[in-house]
Structure 1
Amino acid sequence: MDTFVPTFTGTDRTIVIVVGVVALVALAIAMVLRAQVLAAGTGTPRMQEISAAVQEGASAYLGRQFRTLAVFVVVVFALLFVLPADSAGERIGRSIFFLVGAAFSAAIGYTGMWLATRANVRVAAAANTEGRERAMQIAFRTGGTVGLATTGLGLLGASFVVLVYVGGAPRVLEGFGFGAAMLAMFMRVGGGIFTKAADVGADLVGKVEQNIPEDDPRNAATIADNVGDNVGDCAGMAADLFESYAVTLVASLILGSAAFGAKGLVFPLIVPAIGILTAIIGVYITRARANESGLATINRSFYISAGISAVLCAIAAFTYLPSNFADFGDNFAGIAGNPAVIAFVSVIIGIVLAAVILWLTGYFTDTNKKPTQDVARTSLTGAATVILSGISVGFESAVYTALVIAAAVYGAFLLSGSLFVALFCIALAGCGLLTTVGVIVAMDTFGPISDNAQGVAEMSGEVSPQGAQILTDLDAVGNTTKAITKGIAIATAVLAATALFGSYSNAIANALASAGEAAADAADGMASFVSNIVSPNTLVGVLLGAAVVFLFSGLAVNAVSRAAGAVVYEVRRQFREIAGIMEGTARPEYGRVVDIVTRDSLRELATPGLLAVFAPIAVGFGLGTGALAGYLAGAIGTGTLMAVFLANSGGSWDNAKKLVEDGNYGGKGSDAHAATVIGDTVGDPFKDTAGPAINPLIKVMNLVSVLIAPAVVTLTVGSSSNTAVRIVIALVAVAIIAAAVIVSKRRASRLEA
């Protein structure tokens, strides 16, 4: 297909403006929900004191993290000016919207943390005095606030760029998506290290060694643990889901104009705008019924909002899109099929994918389902069998989830015989999944808020037995909803990454056309690129892509291990040296542990981040475009399986512990309980650090590849070919990665036994 630059009609422009207005409505409703949450009762003075300590620690951590990340943002902002672009306006816009994407991602993360640290005490108070329905409503509407803010900011940024840049919007949005993805990856890794270092350290000393409850105020790591829930699961995951939203839109818009012309830039905006409307409905209809589990309540809201999205997307597709590709113009006359039908089915595939993953993940991690119950039962024979059974659950669930995602990708791909349209269909499936993001973010935030509420209640000692049981039940539901959102997040990563993979090949084709002196030269160059895809060079790329996922995961888990070791030493020291802690007459030094995990998590996040950015640069400039294509394929495939395995095994271990703590197999204090605590501590960095961080990792690497593709081609073919420069760039990238890994491996914990 010839290069095609779309132009907007008056109707197209009006629709984009309406989409922007819908995004503003989402932000307005988010503010309404925020006010409703803050209007709830804040409990006893002791509860308020504990919540204030968590608020202070979380705000201090994010402030230090943002100051640390500002250096990376400034450096990448400058580097984006160096990369090729069609015009100075696109180059400037790409760099500016990189900053906008990073700022929006940071804002979403901070919003999630700020409100969650204030909702925790309100949920605890409601459970104590008003009952389960009210407590659950506050927790879910807090998540709804963050969900609508996520969708509102993402859609507002994308619609503004499309309105201003039109045909150049996809290339400018590469910067927007890259900024969102890069900051989200750093926040996900840093927050994950913080929360799990505190959690693991608190469990190993408090539960295992001192035999005291999880959130006992005598444990010096409890405040850090509760802070971690907010900076990791609320701030980090909110930023992660925002970048998933932004990057999926970017992938859709990059391919949209090539497949559907101007309407291909507008329709991917209409679909998530519909998702905003249905998310509002989903948040407001979430009300617990008598004798109904919290998970059933949340699932019902999800399915209702997904069903409404499907109906409205059908109306939008058949109203806005024509029934023949020839109606898009002569450039599209040779493509067979009905654009409206193709687009609608693609969106439905994405919506169905979200629903299936919700069910599948719930099956493997819910306390009421057989897999997690089996893991809990193995606690009777010790920690080793708990760990083995949890690993088995993770492996098995990863296979089924990968098959479901693969079926969705391939099903969307088969909808058209045109490569560009088929890739756009995959991106549209991602847009369909985006219609559920508002509710998904609400589900995810629900988990850490419930966990924090239970911690506030237990540390205060001022909650009734009935209120304590309500919070325990909500915490177990939250473990499952967090696992579900991680499963859906990796699905968005795969759909977006696959579409970006197509964008990468499109960028290579365009760069070859620009580098060649004639169309025939570009065709020859493209044929050479295609032949490289089946060469040993590409197989090396596949292996390298898979290896980077393993290395990234290992670095993240090892970082948690080192930081948790520092926490263990410090908590042991306080029990040993501060007289009266166990008797409750002396106050632990909570701030000391918060400082330790803050320093260690910020120190550790650089290495995984540098790996994600510089590995594709090393492969692309060192081995060429075919090897980089293989690298992306290896990272997508391995990353999908690894992320689901880590998330579901960790979720299963956590809920198995909940089952034992509810009185099964000996209950709290038994050998079975100690076994499940060990399983849970192994699963903590799996499900809350390494696993979820793979989602932005995949998208960062894909976006880096799309951004550097023209430069790689420029230095590889044509009169500007320069092998020496290409090799130097690759060696510098390898040297940066090697130095970062070596420093990370040599780094000892700040504290010694």
Structure 2
Amino acid sequence: MSVLWAADNGGLSLEGENLSYVVVAAVIALVALGFAGALTKAVLSTDRGTAKMQQIAGAVQEGASAYLLRQFRTLGIFVIVAVVLLFLLPVHETDGNETLVKIGRSAFFVVGAAFSAFIGGAGMALATRANLRVAAAAREHQGGRETAMQIAFRTGGVVGFLTVGLGLIGAAAVVLIYRGDAPTVLEGFGFGAALLAMFMRVGGGIFTKAADVGADLVGKVEQGIPEDDPRNAATIADNVGDNVGDCAGMAADLFESYAVTLVAALILGRAAFGEQGLVFPLIVSTIGVLIAILGVFITRLRASDRSGMSAINRAFYASAVVSAILVAVMSFLYLPATWADLLGADWRERLGLAPGAAEPLNPQVVAIGAVVIGIVLAAAIQALTGYFTETNRRPVQDIGKSSLTGPATVVLAGISVGLESAVYSALLIGAGVFGAFLLGGSSLTLALFAVALAGTGLLTTVGVIVAMDTFGPISDNAQGIAEMSGDIDEQGARTLTELDAVGNTTKAITKGIAIATAVLAATALFGSYTDTLGTALRDAGSTLSIDGLLNVANPRNLVGLIIGAAVVFLFSGLAINAVSRSAGAVVMEVRRQFRELPGIMDGTQRPEYGKVVDICTRDAQRELITPGLLAIMAPIAVGFGLGPGALAAYLAGAIGAGTLMAVFLANSGGAWDNAKKLVEDGAFGGKGSDAHAATVIGDTVGDPFKDTAGPAINPLLKVMNLVSLLIAPAVVAWSVGDSQNDPLRIAVAVGAALVIVVAVVISKRKPVSVSESGSDSDGTAGGSAAKEPQTVEA
């Protein structure tokens, strides 16, 4: 169905008012980028602290930059291969030249990947410069608490503005250039963003948690020294990891959530709202840019606030309310009140309504209702996640109390909190999806568009969400720099401890919101897949119906569903095992340094920080390949091996299992982390007690849960959905119709399955640690001389 209906069919062309809205969206996206530049300048103009703080921050900057550059070189191979494959895959229903559409899809794949990489890299670069400025601000006795928080949050605001600005300008550019073919080209844009984000999330997560676990187990538990003590050789790697994992990885993750949700809304909007379905999601996203600006600037810590969460919650909920009001106003101004005015006289046919079916709610109500559901869902997820992870709530306090009986009960209590919270979060997300779905009435097309709009509505607050997330690692690093330098008094240390605890909660909250977004986007993409499936079946001349193809009673489909759920478990296991192996190497290396360099403990010898950074860098690059190949190859193996119906069931299984697994892992880890903070603040014996050691063990178990496997499930779901969407025409063509080719189809399926098997086997054969010294045979970590990080411009 062509979106650009002719005037005599009662439709509009992308001219006049519609064109103006898209241009305005692009302009406001540029405004967001301008605000990002202005905030960057403001952050960098603040005090850089003492010379020792600058030296430590410089080492973190160098290590983070070196890691990210090495990761981009590794991922370049995947980008090149994906560009070629995207050009070779068929497209359907083009309004223009098919070759030009294929070129556009491949080109915007590169754009999406580049934007994802840039946001991650820029966020990390600024965060590694803001951390010491936050530490320096905390040293001020008058207003230091408020200033430190403002610097940390506004640094996150820069990443938020980059996310909404680049996401919106990329989508607007595609719509302006490709018009009716925009949804097809946007598949490439979303796939590029999602693929890079998944690799950055997995690689960064492996790096940060290997360093964190290794540092905690040897430093805190074995040597009894503080978390960020400079005598621990893993401290620099730990601080580097916060930036490459939580800043670069999570920023790229939230950007791809934004981009993919917008892509799904535009794909489904074309079918449900016609041309205005291509424009309205851009209007909603434009409102999101304005909300990002508002939310970042009204987040101010008052002296009367109990903690930084009070200021963040106040700004977030105010932004959500303003967002809902603006969306309602624009819906009434832009959308007509009747379906006939929107789609023409044949609107029932366009919506796929059966004869005699009830008329759905009017377009304005559907649009407002869907977006408001998304906004309310974000607020509800924030409240629910906060309950299970904040230090002043019962779940975390119960975990802290369980530390009095040892680490085993801490682990059990954290697992139970994660499992319970996953149920409530899944039900909440499910209610949001189903509520949006009900707005479509008996029109499946309209219902799926409403789900996509709910995701777009949720992400109107994404600028504030990204700022909240980046706030966490900046606060964590600031505390580390202050502790390592020793240039902080008791009051400043209390300020940084408070901000670090708030940061733990904001990271958990943003992970919960990101999971909700992933489910909404995956559900919308699943709808796009079934729509593409129907088109491909018609093109292949098949008489099969979509309903018959998707019947779960079919053993093929049931097997597909089971495989989809199993892939989520395998992916999580690979990510956690990767952290375990890399952490083992870090533990061995840090132990070796304490053993062979006795002057470390009395401060007469400097630890070899660079060796630990190099171990984590090497292992992160080596370990991210297998989960990445699994995400890409599994849908190909199922689709070509079992057919298009089984592939749909595969996606359903992955979405269901992924939702529960992601929330369980994220909330367990967040609760364990804050239980440790609770004890370190003096509860149940305080630092150095047996209870403290027990919570440290719980925290180390939770580290790969909340910062590696859990967050990586979000891009995993979207990568698998997008791969399925892209291969659907070929799967149908080779499975049914005149182009059926069983030998080729089976060969592709077997080839994809073999790639997965070989990758997993190679991964499982890797040792837990490289050697007793954590080094390769040439005596250096990673097979190259491990250079000590040098001070760089902060």
Q: Deviations over 1:501-539 (max 9, x none)?
A: 0000000111111111xxxxx4x2225743644412111
Q: Deviations over 1:144-180 (max 9, x none)?
A: 0000101100000000001111110000000000000
- What residue in structure 2 maps to residue 120 of structure 1? 131
Task: Give the whole-Å Cα distance in 2 for the aligned partners of 1:427 and 1:234.
Answer: 27
Q: 2:736 and 2:119 mapped to 1: Cα distance?
A: 42
SS in 2 for 1:718: coil
Is 1:588 the counterpart of 2:626? The answer is no
Q: What CA deviation, in whole Å up to 9, does each residue of 1:566-585 have, x standing for no partner? A: 00000000000013100011
Give the C-alpha shift of residue 667 in structure 1: 0.6
- In the alignment, is the contact (CA less than 8 A) between 2:550 and 2:646 conserved in 1? no
Q: Which runs of 4+ in 1 moved over 6 A?
A: none
Note if contact 1:286-1:298 (Cα within 8 Å) is conserved in structure 2: yes
Q: Does 1:232 align with 2:232?
A: no
Match of 2:783? none
Between the aligned residues of both structures, percent identity stands at 70
Equivalent of 1:735, from 754, 766, 785? 754
2:744 to 725, 743, 749: 725
Task: Please report how far the alpha carbon of residue 291 of structure 1 lies from its aligned counterpart in structure 2 after TM superposition.
Answer: 3.2
Structure 2 residue matching 1:317: 3-state secondary structure: helix
Asked if 1:332 corresponds to 2:347, the answer is: yes
How far off is 1:719 after superposition?
Answer: 1.2
The match for 2:43 is 37
2:696 equivalent in structure 1: 677
In the alignment, which of 186, 205, 210 is matched to residue 192 of structure 1?
205
What aligned pairs does 1:209-288 form with structure 2 within 5 A after superposition? 209-288=222-301
Shift of 1:84: 0.3
Q: Are 1:344 and 2:368 counterparts?
A: yes
Aligned partners of 1:321 and 1:339 also within 8 Å: yes
Q: How does 1:88-103 map to 2 (within 5 A)?
A: 88-103=99-114
Q: Which residue of 1 aligns with 2:671?
A: 652
Report the RMSD for the aligned CA atoms in angstroms: 1.0
1:24-423 counterparts in 2 under 5 A? Answer: 24-86=30-92, 87-129=98-140, 130-292=143-305, 293-327=307-341, 328-333=343-348, 336=359, 337-416=361-440, 417-423=442-448
Q: Determine if the alignment matches structure 1 residue 536 to structure 2 residue 555.
A: yes
Contact 1:486 1:692 in 2 (8 A): yes
Indicate conservation of the 8 Å contact 2:60/2:240, yes or no: yes
Q: How does 1:405-484 map to 2 (within 5 A)?
A: 405-416=429-440, 417-484=442-509
Pick the aligned partner of 2:642 from 623, 626, 633.
623
Contact kept in structure 2, 1:433 and 1:492, CA below 8 Å = yes
For structure 2, which runs of at least 5 residues remain unmatched after alignment?
A: 6-12, 93-97, 352-358, 774-794
Q: Which of residues 772, 775, 778 in structure 2 aligns to 1:752?
A: 772
- Aligned pair 1:16/2:22, yes or no? yes
Aligned to 1:705: 724
CA–CA separation in structure 2 for the residues paired with 1:615 and 1:531: 19
For 1:254, what is the secondary structure of its paired residue?
Answer: helix
- For 1:362 and 1:751, the matched residues in 2 are separated by 41
State whether residues 559 and 646 of structure 2, in contact with CA within 8 Å, keep that contact through their aligned partners in structure 1: yes
Mapped partners of 2:273, 2:137: distance in 1? 51
Preserved contact between residue 346 and residue 429 of structure 1 (Cα < 8 Å) = yes
Structure 1 distance, partners of 2:229, 2:546, is 65
TM-score with structure 1 length normalisation? 0.98
Instruction: Judge which range, 284-293 or 346-355, deviates more.
Output: 284-293
Q: Secondary structure at the match of 1:96?
A: helix
Q: Does the 8 Å contact 1:187/1:232 carry over to 2?
A: yes
Which position in structure 2 is the counterpart of 1:519?
A: none
Distance 1:122 1:131 in 2: 11
Residue 498, structure 1, aligned to residue 523, structure 2: yes
| Residue identity opposite 1:66 in structure 2 | F
Which is worse superposed, 534-543 or 241-250? Answer: 534-543
One-letter code of the match for 2:765?
A: R
CA contact (8 A) 1:229 1:452 kept: yes
Q: Report the more deviating stretch, 261-270 or 526-535.
A: 526-535
Amino acid at match of 1:35: K
For residue 395 of structure 1, what is the amino acid of its counterpart? L
1:356 partner amino acid: A
**2:735 aligned counterpart, secondary structure:** coil
Q: Distance in 2 between matches of 1:419 and 1:333?
A: 12
Instruction: Identify the residue that residue 607 of structure 1 maps to in structure 2.
Output: 626
Q: Which residue of 1 aligns with 2:354?
A: none
Q: Is the 8 A contact 1:413 1:423 kept in 2?
A: yes
- The structural deviation recorded for 1:131 is 1.2
What amino acid is aligned across from residue 733 of structure 2 in structure 1?
A: T
The 3-state SS of whatever aligns with 2:545 is helix
Matched AA of 2:63? G
Contact conserved, 1:233 with 1:688, CA < 8 A, in 2? yes
How far has the Cα of 1:713 moved from its partner? 0.4
User: Any unmatched runs of 5+ in structure 1?
Assistant: 517-521
Contact 2:371/2:454 (8 A) holds in 1: yes
Q: Secondary structure at the match of 2:231?
A: coil
Cα distance in 2, alignment partners of residues 752 and 623 from structure 1: 46
**SS of alignment partner, residue 196 of structure 1:** helix
Q: Distance in 2 between matches of 1:113 and 1:99?
A: 21
User: What secondary structure sits across from 2:600 in the alignment?
Assistant: coil
| Partner deviation per Cα, 1:695-734 (whole Å, 9 max, x = no partner) | 0000000000000000000001111101111100000000
Distance verdict in 2 for CA 1:5–1:505, change over 3 Å: farther
- Alpha-carbon displacement from aligned partner over 1:257-278 (angstroms, at most 9, x marks no partner): 1000000000001101101101
Size of the aligned set, in residue pairs, is 746
Q: 1:529, 1:625 within 8 Å by CA — same for their partners in 2?
A: no
CA distance in 2, matches of 1:489, 1:553: 17
Given that 1:533 and 1:629 are in contact with CA atoms closer than 8 Å, whether structure 2 keeps it comes out as no
**Alpha-carbon displacement from aligned partner over 1:30-57 (angstroms, at most 9, x marks no partner):** 1111111001100000000000000000
Q: CA deviation at 1:249?
A: 0.5
Q: Residues 4 and 331 of structure 1 are in contact (CA less than 8 Å); yes or no, is this contact kept in structure 2?
A: no
The residue number in structure 2 matching 1:662 is 681
What's the secondary structure of 1:501's corresponding residue? Answer: helix
Please, what TM-score do these two structures have when normalized by structure 2? Answer: 0.93
Query: Could you say what secondary structure the match of 1:218 adopts?
Result: coil
Amino acid corresponding to residue 361 of structure 1 in structure 2:
T
Q: Report what 2:581 is aligned to.
A: 562
Aligned partner letter, 2:430: A
CA distance in 1, matches of 2:624, 2:540: 38
Distance in structure 1 (CA, Å) of the matches to 2:764 and 2:677? 34
The one-letter code of the counterpart of 1:751 is S
- 2 CA distance for matches of 1:266 and 1:22? 15
Letter in 2 for 1:308: V
**CA distance 1:4–1:123, change in 2 (3 Å):** closer
